């Protein structure tokens, strides 16, 4: 995957959302390379870029955070269409003191929401045909 496919665009953020708080929402899926809420002209514009070191972590975060609320607002989560400006402020290497220790064990791959919905529909159809056949 290219670097931009590890970068997530998050829109609809509250002006009071801080970079460190946003990073906490996303770093539970894996190690972040960068997280920034651009503030051109000194004021936040309500969007952010989050970049993961691992593309699987980015996929997991993308799927899990699509329908979430952050600071009381429904956020929009999309893959970044282009690289953000090079002046990102926040880098996970400079961040000290995590709230919880990270496990060193390999992560189990989670299924995407669409795959779970597909499996659910298949199970319902099988049950429907089984009940119809028995009765």
Domain ranges (residues) in the chain: 3-102+110-134
- pLDDT bucket at 81, cuts 50 / 70 / 90: confident
What mean pLDDT do residues 97-108 have? 48
More confident residue, 85 or 75: 75
pLDDT at 41 over 90: no
d(CA 91, CA 72): 25
Kindly state the average pLDDT of the residues 101-114.
59
Whether this model's pTM surpasses 0.85? no
pLDDT at 106: 57
Over residues 101-129, the mean pLDDT reads 75
CATH class name, domain 3-102+110-134 = alpha beta
Residue 99 has pLDDT above 70, yes or no: no
C-alpha torsion 36→41→43→45, nearest 10: -60
83-94 per-position pLDDT tens digit: 666 655 544 444
Report the b/e string of 24-51 with b at 16+ CB within 10 A. Answer: ebbbebbebbbbbbbeeeeebebbbbbb
Report the share of the chain in percent with pLDDT over 90: 35
Mean pLDDT, the chain, whole residue set: 79
Residue 84's pLDDT is what? 61
Average pLDDT over residues 57-63: 92
Under DSSP, is residue 82 helix (H, G, I), strand (E, B) or coil?
Answer: coil
């Amino acid at each position: 995957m290219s670097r931009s496919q590890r970068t997530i665009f998050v829109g609809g953020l509250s002006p009071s959302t801080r970079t460190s708080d946003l990073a906490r929402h996303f770093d539970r899926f894996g190690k972040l390379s960068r997280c920034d809420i651009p503030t051109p002209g000194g004021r936040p514009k309500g969007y952010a870029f989050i970049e993961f070191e691992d593309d699987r972590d980015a996929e997991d975060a993308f799927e899990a955070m699509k329908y979430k609320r952050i600071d009381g607002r429904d956020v929009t989560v999309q893959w970044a269409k282009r690289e953000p400006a090079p002046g990102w402020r926040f880098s996970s290497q400079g961040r000290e003191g995590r709230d919880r220790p990270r496990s060193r064990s390999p992560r189990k791959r989670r299924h995407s929401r669409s795959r779970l919905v597909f499996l659910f529909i298949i199970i319902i159809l099988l049950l429907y045909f089984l009940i119809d056949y028995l009765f």
